[in-house]
Structure 1
Amino acid sequence: MRKFFLSLLLAILFCNTGKAHAVERVVIATVSSDVYYENIFLMANTIEGDWMGHKNFTVQVGFPPGELLYHFPNWYNDKFTPDLFYEDINADQLKDIIVVLVAGSGSGLSLKEVHVLSQIHDPNIRYEEVRVESINDAVKRLVKMERHGNEATILIGRKKYVVDISKFGYSIGFEERPFVGSWERNTPVNGFLEGSTLVYVSIGGTIGTLKIRYDWDGKMYKAKSVTFEEAEPYKPSS
């Protein structure tokens, strides 16, 4: 089925013009299943003058004539391929659609925007977009970061992590306090939605990773817990 779909897509792209960029509506990502009504397609429009960006997204569940369509005209993907998952992340035995868009990218930059379509049976199958707390908001709410000289402190609840910045050998000037917001990732892990972001003490100088686990509170996916993993200092090969 996957080979058939890819062949069909290529045929559409090159039909008549022989040029892929002539087509405005494209399939960006898919999730295949053994049953046709669980195939997920993420579609969007290309942006004139910006061949890497996409907007006006649609999520299609299944094939015609019984497919479900959900339109999201305000979704935007900066560049690179979005992530698409189909997993149960709230323990209700119903698979949810997780779309992770690239909100910003560049050298050392990868900002994400996660959207969750929660599956509902009432009695028909349908999906409804629900809110997800951003990684940045979760960090602001649950994490406190400080720097005193060559020591960076990460406070998460009663847990305290102290990192010796000097062992990383960064020569550029340090910021007043550690910060996040340059690199993010979202993915389902063991039945939960997980987010992660790097912690920096200077531009390009990372000291570790914050991992955020989300829980469903009945209205939205909100960060429940955060852990910190210290990075290993770079050791040049001899």
Structure 2
Amino acid sequence: MMKKYILILLMALLLWDTGKAYAVDRLVISHIISDKWYENIFLIADKVDGTATRNFTVQIGGGVSDVGGELLYNFPNWYNSKFGPQLFNEDINSDGLKDVIVGLISGAGVSLSTKEIHVLNQVHDPYQRYEEVPVESINDAVKRLVKMERKGNEIRVKIGKKKYVVNYLKFGFQTPVDTPGVGTIEDYEPKDGILYGSTNVFVTIPEAYLGSLTVKYNWDGKMYKAESITFNEAEPLKP
């Protein structure tokens, strides 16, 4: 009940503060509520149509009795095409400060879910603030660290010194009409203080799933860059 009241109060403040025509369509689309009002996180955006949203604001702080002093970070170019964005609050660069991680859906449809990731690192200098920092995309990481090719009925995946060989015939697929590729299904998630990304590996028949790639990210002081990638072969469906 308290969380619901917080959201209602926040919406009232937004409508009262802006006084703009589009304010009625400005929504709190995701939130993380803490025991401390100044650690509450609200993800706010304009409703476009259906479930699409744009013009995001990340608000940190705000509550029922203490509504002043919020930190507001506006991202007018952020766009979420469908369904609800992901919101996390976790320290992913081992500095002891919790960061804000936002996963947006850049494309969605039948057998399609591509995402983009945004990270706001928390810093003290000496005042608390957050800064958006770059994150290497899954596609860029795969292009840099992974080599894939088709030899006959084998799909070969090479990552550093490791080499994986998948016989796609055991999946019951016919001869692929294209080289192996990645994408169409993507995800990002922080776990145990580390940011991970994942994507699928497929051959087009028109599309056949062979396994997935898991990207492990590391903070290098300037950006979150892929440190390593592992391949996980899919299990053929039992007849």
TM-score calculated relative to the size of structure 2: 0.90
Q: Deviations over 1:100-135 (max 9, x none)?
A: 000000000000010000000011110000000000
Structure 1: 4+ residue segments shifted above 6 A: 9-12
Aligned to 1:189: 191
SS in 1 for 2:142: helix
Letter in 2 for 1:226: I
Aligned to 2:219: 216
Matched residues in 2 for 1:230 and 1:112: separation? 22
2:173 matches 1:174: no
Moved more, 173-182 or 81-90: 173-182
Q: For residue 189 of structure 1, report the CA deviation from its aligned partner.
A: 1.3
Letter in 1 for 2:6: F
2:161 to 151, 155, 158: 158
Unpaired segments of 5 or more residues in structure 2? 14-21
| Structural mapping, 1:108-187, within 5 Å | 108-171=111-174, 174-187=176-189
Distance change (3 Å), C-alpha of 1:224 and 1:175 = farther
Aligned to 1:51: 50
TM-score calculated relative to the size of structure 1: 0.90
- Alignment RMSD: 1.9
Q: For residue 32 of structure 1, report the CA deviation from its aligned partner.
A: 1.3
2:197 and 2:215 in contact (8 A); partners too: yes
User: Sequence identity, in percent?
Assistant: 59
Matched residues in 2 for 1:109 and 1:11: separation? 36
SS in 2 for 1:84: strand
Matched residues in 2 for 1:26 and 1:77: separation? 13
Q: For residue 5 of structure 1, report the CA deviation from its aligned partner.
A: 2.9
Distance change (3 Å), C-alpha of 1:9 and 1:93 = closer
Letter in 2 for 1:156: I
Q: For residue 9 of structure 1, report the CA deviation from its aligned partner.
A: 7.0
